[in-house]
A and B are shown apart, each in its own frame.
Chain A
Amino acid sequence: MSERCFPSLNARYINQLPDGFIYLHKTTGMVFIVNVSAHSVLQYCDGKHSLKLIVELLSEKFEVGKSELLNDVMDFVREAEKSNLIILLDQEKQA
């Protein structure tokens, strides 16, 4: 997985719980409940933001260094892809 890939959410955001955010997989109906950090990443996973850009945006938003964020975001995206919560596109998905 490279920083140039474009993560695309395979689920839709439903609502918030006291300790998490509910996502519903578009085809399987599986429910994912993620924490606030994961939710912040998933908000940008629209197939139009590259992983690199997502890290930059989150770095600005949370005032954390990009290098600190990169590994965490990549780890999460890798796990999310394994769970089929997101798919990784090589190029920006045309709307």
Chain B
Amino acid sequence: MHKLRSLYVHISNFCNLRCKHCWVNSVYTSHLSGLTSLNFEVLQKAIEEAYDLGLEDVLIAGGEPLMERNLIIRIIRLLNRMGVNSRLETNGTLVDEELARSFSKYDVHVSMSLDSAHSTFFDSFRGVAGTFDAVVKTTKLLTKHSVPTRLVMVVTKSNLKDVEESVDFMFDLGVNSVRINPVHAVGRAKNFSEVVDTKDLKVLADKLVMLYEEYPTRLITSLPLCLIITHGSKYARLAEGHCNYKELLGILPNGEVSLCAVGLHSSELLLGNIFRESLKNIWASSRGFLGELRSLAPEDFSGVCGRCVFRHYCANKCPAEVYLTHRTFKASYPICQSLYDAGLFPQTLLL
């Protein structure tokens, strides 16, 4: 049986921010806690079953997971006891001293977004005033407690020009790493006018390569490798690898199991529900997309990914985004295909 090395637990659909580009379409609320169907007991059972299947890493995300603060603390304590790595994706607005100490104690890796060095832009993009100050405060708190912290900048047409300033600002806050993601045209951003033009993705890649000289190994991007590697193999680590989709499951706020949060958008990608069935049973089956993904070979990819020399490395990068765009896992990664269609894909990488 395939190992199940990673779980993405999407604790809640609710969030206290109104991000314009939210890919999971979180629902805004100012109420804290009690908004998820998940409870500790059902999650503990799922996590313990996953552990028997090889679990190494759990990503806790949302919505905003810290709206369920007590549940999160119990989960990270459990994971720490089991020796499983825990990562938390949070908007950073709900962290206080006590939580920061818990993250430090239980070795949680925290990731938050900060898309600008300027509060006006950031607060507007995230839809709630005061968000910038809250995230900066949390970042300082986490670094004070030596919590491994990553800041993520989502790049749009508007803040592309500010990438260098923003990266410097984020590293000056003392974080371990910074990740740069162009906004992806999925979820609420499906028809977002701020999605970076294809030709400007190359501009972004050029900027990041320059910045990598200053922040080697600490800067990472979700841009595809093809945009980075042509600057030289020494920049390869700037581009993150592929999703480990053959060893991954996502748990949604209602207990449904999917590949990741993609199940929120596509009901055909739901595999079962941990309130009704064991995670072990779901994983042991080949139902739904599981069989297809497990047998998916890079040689099967259509479009440019099937012709790229790095097809085994990237493995079309993000099957969720590929599926949401093309309704098949065999299509090319949308950014790579758009580069190819625009005549911007590096010919040197084509087989």
Contact = CB atoms under 8 A, between A and B. Distances in A.
Interface of A: 14-20, 22, 24, 28-31, 33
Contacts of B105: none
The 10 closest A-B pairs by CB, nearest first: A29-B312, A15-B348, A19-B232, A33-B233, A18-B232, A20-B233, A14-B309, A24-B309, A17-B233, A19-B233
Interface in B336-351: 348-349, 351
A30 B315 CA distance: 12
B232 A22 contact: no
Interface in B226-279: 229-234, 236
A29 B233 contact: no
B210 to A, nearest CB: 14
Interface residues of B, number: 17
Nearest to B312: A29
A30 to B, nearest CB: 7
Interface in B294-318: 298-299, 309-313
20 contacts: A14-B309, A14-B351, A15-B348, A15-B349, A16-B348, A17-B229, A17-B348, A20-B232, A22-B309, A22-B348, A22-B349, A24-B309, A28-B312, A29-B298, A29-B299, A29-B312, A30-B312, A31-B309, A31-B310, A33-B233
Contacts of B348: 14-17, 22
Contacts of B298: 29
A53 B289 CA distance: 53
A29 to B, nearest CB: 4
Contacts of B236: 33
B167 to A, nearest CB: 23
A17 B232 contact: yes
A32 to B, nearest CB: 10
A30 B236 CA distance: 15
Given A14-B351, A16-B348, A17-B348, A31 B313 contact: yes
A89 to B, nearest CB: 26
A28 B298 CA distance: 11
Nearest to B349: A15
A22 B313 CA distance: 13
Contacts of A33: 233, 236
Contacts of B232: 17-20
Nearest to B234: A19
